[in-house]
Amino acid sequence: MNEQYNLWVMDLPHTYPYPLTSINQNSSMIHIHEATESIIATFEHDGDEQYQLYHLPLSGGHPVPFNEKENESTCYHAVFTADHQEMYYASNHENPLLNIYKTNLETNETHLMQQGDKAPIVVAAVSPDGSAYTFTETYSNTHAAAYYHEKGDKVSLVPDPSIPHVVKDITFAGNDTLYLVTNYQSEFSYIASFSLSTYEFQPLIQLEDEEINAIKLHNGTIFFPSQKGVRDHLYHYDLSTKALNNLDAPCDIIKKIQVTNKGTLYILGVSAHQIDTIFKRDPLGEWSKLTNHKVLGISDDMMIKPEVVHYNSFDGLSIEALLFKPQARNANGYSILWPHGGPQSAERLKYRPILQYLAQSGYVIFAPNFRGSTGYGSSFQKMVEQNWGEGPRLDCVAGMDWLISEGHAEKGKLFSMGGSYGGYMSLLLAGRHSEYFSGIVDIFGISNLLTFIENVPPSWRTLMNQMVGDPEKDREKLVSESPITYLDGMDKPMFIIHGQNDPRVKTEESERIVNSLKGKGVRVEYLLFDDEGHGFSKKKNEMEANKRIKAFLDSLVK
Residue 430 is classified by DSSP as: H
Q: Residue 59: pLDDT band by 50, 70, 90 thresholds?
A: confident
For residue range 304-349, list pLDDT tens digits in order. 999 999 999 999 999 999 999 999 999 999 999 999 999 999 999 9
Do 173 and 26 lie in a common domain? no
pLDDT grade for 297, boundaries at 50, 70 and 90: low
Q: Residue 487: exposed, middle, or buried by beta-carbon count in 10 A (0-12, 13-18, 19+)?
A: buried
The DSSP bridge pattern shows strands 153-156 and 167-173 to be unpaired
Q: Are residues 522 and 426 in the same domain?
A: yes
Give yes or no for a contact between 147 and 160, defined as CB atoms under 8 angstroms apart.
no
Within 8 A by CB and 6+ apart from 482, the residues are 389, 447, 448, 449, 450
Q: pLDDT band for position 284 (50/70/90)?
A: confident
Asked whether residue 52 falls in the same domain as residue 147, the answer is no
Which of 152, 183, 202 finishes a domain?
Answer: 202
Same structural domain for residues 152 and 113? no
Domain boundary among 202, 218, 233: 202
Is 172:125 a contact under the CB 8 Å cutoff?
yes
Q: Which of 31-45, 181-195, 217-231 has the lowest mean pLDDT?
A: 31-45
Residues 54, 101, single domain; the answer is yes
Alpha carbon distance 232, 212 (integer Å): 9
Indicate whether 434 pLDDT > 90: yes
- Our CA dihedral for 425, 426, 432, 437, rounded to 10 degrees, sits at 150
Question: What's the confidence (pLDDT) of residue 414?
Answer: 98
pLDDT confidence of 300, banded at 50, 70, 90? Answer: low
Domain boundary among 202, 232, 251: 202
Q: State the pLDDT at residue 298.
A: 60
Question: How many Cβ atoms are within 10 Å of 197's Cβ, its own excluded?
Answer: 8
**Is 275 among the domain residues?**
no
Model confidence at 73, pLDDT cuts 50, 70, 90, reads: confident
- Mark whether 24 and 138 lie in a shared domain: no
The share of the chain scoring above pLDDT 90, in percent, equals: 82
Whether the pLDDT of residue 144 is over 70: the answer is: yes
Residues 230, 375: Cα–Cα separation, whole Å: 8
Mean pLDDT of 105-113: 90
Give the number of domains in the chain. 3
In this structure, of 71-85, 213-227, 244-258, 446-460, the range with the lowest mean pLDDT score is: 71-85
For the cut 70, the answer to whether the pLDDT of residue 471 exceeds it is: yes
Mean pLDDT for all residues in the chain: 93
> What is the CB neighbour count within 10 angstroms for residue 357?
15
Average of per-residue pLDDT across 65-77: 85
Of the candidate ranges 144-158, 360-374, 472-486, 523-537, the one whose mean pLDDT is the lowest? 144-158
Determine the pLDDT at residue 323.
98
Q: Is the pLDDT of residue 295 over 80?
A: no
138 and 113 in a common domain: no
Instruction: Report residue 181: phi and psi, to 5°.
Output: -110, 125
109 within a domain of the structure (yes/no): yes
Task: Identify the pLDDT of residue 146.
Answer: 97
pLDDT of 299 = 62
Please choose, from the candidates 226, 273, 282, 284, the residue with its C-alpha nearest in 3D space to the C-alpha of residue 254.
226
In a domain? residue 385: yes
pLDDT of 143 reads: 96
CATH number at residue 20: 2.120.10.30
Classify residue 35: in a domain, yes or no. yes
Q: Which residue has the higher pLDDT, 432 or 71?
A: 432
**Pick from 112, 110, 109: nearest CA to 100:** 112
Task: Specify the range with the lowest mean pLDDT, choosing from 189-198, 277-286, 479-488.
Answer: 277-286
Q: What angle do CA 145, 149, 155 make, to 5 degrees?
A: 55
| Per-residue pLDDT tens digits for 508-527 | 999 999 999 999 999 999 99
Rounded mean pLDDT, 542-552: 97
- 74 and 177 in a single domain? The answer is no
How confident is the model over 14-19, as a mean pLDDT?
90
**Highest-scoring range by mean pLDDT, 137-151, 291-305, 432-446:** 432-446
* CATH number of the CATH domain containing 441: 3.40.50.1820
pLDDT (mean) for 175-186: 95
Portion of the chain with pLDDT greater than 70, in percent: 98
487 domain-assigned = yes
C-alpha neighbours within 13 Å on the C-beta side of residue 406: 15
d(CA 272, CA 153): 46
Query: So what's the pLDDT on residue 410?
Result: 97
Residue 72 lies in a domain: yes
The pLDDT score that the predictor gives to residue 35 is 78
- Flag whether 548 is in a domain: yes
**Band of residue 83 on the pLDDT scale cut at 50, 70, 90:** confident
pLDDT-derived band at 61 (thresholds 50, 70, 90) equals confident
The total of other beta-carbon atoms located within 10 Å of residue 513's CB is 28
Q: Are 126 and 80 in contact (CB under 8 A)?
A: yes
pLDDT (average), residues 397-423: 98
Residue 552 has pLDDT above 70, yes or no: yes
Decide if pLDDT at 293 tops 80: no
pLDDT of residue 518: 96
In one letter, which amino acid is 338? W
In the prediction, which pLDDT does 460 show?
84
Residue 77 DSSP code: E
Domain ranges, residue 198: 134-202
pTM above 0.85, yes or no: yes
pLDDT at residue 62 tops 90: no
Cα-Cα-Cα-Cα dihedral sign, residues 119, 120, 125, 131: positive
Task: Answer yes or no: are the C-beta atoms of 147 and 154 closer than 8 Å.
Answer: yes
**Statement to judge: residues 46 and 93 lie in one domain:** yes
